[in-house]
Chain A
């Protein structure tokens, strides 16, 4: 099964019932319109294709279609932000985009070191290029990234915690009653944008340079800034 077929199957609305689901799966796998078949024939065909709805192995290939899996500890800030978005949205449906970020072209520089293709290409076009890759080659990257993200969030947990709300002035039960306390703005929707804005000190012409910095470097700096309160 290809990455494209897998993604199409993941998009089927399961709420519409098992017959709808099964006939869509068969259509995706065989390109045969099963509508006029007897329901029992559908059941038999689905029995033969049960493998298609099983979760693929968590193994994955380091190299697909001439591109190499970029080690997660080498991700840049922008790459991580985009991956995080695709995972939070729906990582089964977004798997082609996830692979488009993680599998990269490489070259050797004059010192014999591996240079990674910069994150400047069209992610959509790259995802299309990867559609014919076998799902078994790339499915395991989901688990790999989830594991990495868990470790990353644990390492920098103090940077992701919400700051404590300000203490209400004496004589007030909580800050809502305190007329001098401004209501807190909900910044969660804009958290990454706010981070980049703060890192550029409001100068957005620097945002691409910041986004291209290694993720761990940025967060180490943020950790230092917080610890030293600078």
Chain B
């Protein structure tokens, strides 16, 4: 936790929830925001209203940003078993094509809760079969409680996905000379 303007807010992966981590990731990848705006939004989201920074001069604000982003080198152990409402959920560092398609869909859509949705694909309830694992309602149910867990749980899984997805080439037609591969014609 870090104290900013007498308020304590989380800044480490171990302190943020999956939901907060996702929101911060979204702010950080929003190219329409400059660094000052981005951090005002992040601080506001974590509980410090923007107007409380009205009297902070720029140099001090930059120093606050630096402290907020200062993270010690940490390793995040893989959590592969979770208990929730009397059920056991187990995850494996393994992706079937069906898992990957769902994960890809969530990553591209970037709808609210996409990181917890992705985690929900990995964590499968032991007493259920493959059909139930992938139903929308069940994924949403899992996603809801996973969103409240520490963000450190999702890091090993995100690293695993990035590594696997990188191996998949973007579909592209190669070679040829018609210059016609997109299929749409202007005239």
Q: Does B associate with A?
A: yes
- One of B27-35, B83-91, B164-172 contacting the partner: B164-172
Q: Does residue B73 face the partner (Cβ distance < 8 Å to A)?
A: no
Task: Give A143 to B180 CA distance when docked, in angstroms.
Answer: 7
CB of B6, distance to nearest CB on chain A (Å): 45
Q: CB-CB < 8 A to A92: which residues of B?
A: 180-183
Determine if B185 and A36 form an interchain contact, defined as CB atoms under 8 angstroms apart. no
Number of interface residues of B (CB under 8 A): 35
Given A90-B183, A91-B185, A149-B187: A142 and B178 within 8 A (CB)?
A: yes
Q: What is the CA–CA distance of A42 and B173 in the complex, to the nearest angstrom?
A: 19
Contact yes or no, A39 B97, CB < 8 A: yes
Of A16-24, A62-70, A192-200, A205-213, the one with at least 4 CB within 8 A of chain B: A16-24
8 Å CB contact of A42 from B97, B174, B176, B178: B97
Q: Are A53 and B98 in contact (CB under 8 A)?
A: no
For residue A19, which residues in chain B have a CB less than 8 angstroms away from its CB? 97, 100-101, 104, 165, 168
Selected contact of A43 from candidates B105, B168, B183, B186, CB within 8 Å: B168
* Chain A, range 7-50, C-beta contacts under 8 Å to B: 10, 12, 14-23, 25, 34-40, 42-43, 46
Question: With an 8 A cutoff between CB atoms, is A201 at the interface?
Answer: no
Cβ distance A28 to chain B, nearest Cβ, rounded Å: 13
A16 to B173, CA, bound (A): 16
CA distance A18 to B173 in the complex (A): 13
Contact assessment for B183 and A93 in the assembled complex, using a CB-CB cutoff below 8 Å: yes
Contact B96 A39 (CB under 8 A): yes
Contact B97 A16 (CB under 8 A): no
Interface string of A59-100 (1 = CB under 8 A from B): 000000000000000000000000010011011110000000
Give, as a whole number of angstroms, the nearest-CB distance from A34 to chain B: 5
| Contact indicator A23/B175 (Cβ below 8 Å) | no
Chain B contacts of A140 at CB under 8 A? Answer: 178
What is the minimal beta-carbon distance from A33 to any residue of chain B, in angstroms?
9
User: Which residues of B, 137-187, contact A by the 8 Å Cβ criterion?
Assistant: 164-165, 167-178, 180-187
Partner of B98 from the list A36, A84, A87 (CB cut-off 8 Å) is: A36
Known contacts A35-B98, A153-B187: A22-B181 contact under CB 8 Å: no
Contacts of B101 in A (CB 8 A): 17, 19-20, 23, 35
Partner of A18 from B96, B130, B169, B181 at Cβ < 8 Å: B169
A134 within 8 A of B: no
Question: B177 — which chain A residues lie within 8 A by C-beta?
Answer: 58, 143
> Taking A18-B104, A20-B104 as contacts, is the C-beta distance between A58 and B98 under 8 angstroms?
no
Q: Name the interface residues of A136-166: CB closer than 8 Å to any CB of B.
A: 140, 142-143, 146, 149, 153
Minimum distance in angstroms from A64 CB to a CB of chain B? 18
- 18 A-B pairs in the complex with CB atoms less than 8 angstroms apart: A17-B101, A18-B104, A18-B171, A19-B165, A25-B171, A35-B98, A35-B101, A37-B97, A38-B95, A46-B169, A53-B173, A53-B174, A57-B176, A58-B176, A88-B187, A91-B184, A92-B181, A143-B180
Q: What residues of chain A have their CB less than 8 Å away from a CB belonging to chain B?
A: 10, 12, 14-23, 25, 34-40, 42-43, 46, 53-58, 84, 87-88, 90-93, 140, 142-143, 146, 149, 153
Q: Rank and list the top 4 A-B pairs by shortest CB-CB distance, nearest first.
A: A55-B176, A92-B183, A17-B104, A35-B98
